[in-house]
Amino acid sequence: MEQDYELRINAALGRILRNFNFLELNLGLCLRLLENPDKPGELYDYLRNTGIAKIIKRLQRVLGECEHISDTSKYDEWMEEVDRIRLLRNFYVHATWEYLPLRHDAPLGFRVPPWKEELIDGKCQGKMTIEDLEEEANSVETVFDNFMAIRKSYGV
């Protein structure tokens, strides 16, 4: 049976973007709940204008100040995990992707437009296998799932 490689590529890219979106949403919801549960809208401007790295750091500080959370080591460990995948976000959002099936060793190509290069930490063009892309999708999903498990264990 012939595989639909483009379907696999689109599914992996979709999983990456969806899990980054879920992660950003849930980080914001946690911060909003913990900082000012009576007036959640007061944090909207901050969340709208702040990158994910600063939100993660601020949430770390707020969790440390919570009386009902005695140990934030799970979140601290997760911060190292999220840092490894955080830089991928802009890459996946801003790169243009191509599928070249005759290039058997690495049929996926990507290129970041020159006017977006400052947003990318690393290579601005290259190639990869579909399996590499799927593995990165798995990594992003795992980071999100781990955050949700921590959130549940902290009761936030």
Tens of pLDDT, residues 46-60: 999 998 889 999 999
The span from the CA of 53 to the CA of 89, in Å, is 11
Closest by alpha carbon to 141, among 57, 31, 15, 37?
Answer: 15
Question: Looking at residues 66-70, what average pLDDT do you find?
Answer: 88
Question: Looking at residues 103-125, what average pLDDT do you find?
Answer: 82
The reported pLDDT for the residue numbered 1 is 43
* Cβ atoms of residues 113 and 58 within 8 Å: no
Is it the case that residue 114 has pLDDT exceeding 50? yes
Question: Looking at residues 19-27, what average pLDDT do you find?
Answer: 95
The reported pLDDT for the residue numbered 2 is 52
Is it the case that residue 133 has pLDDT exceeding 90? yes
pTM, two decimal places: 0.86
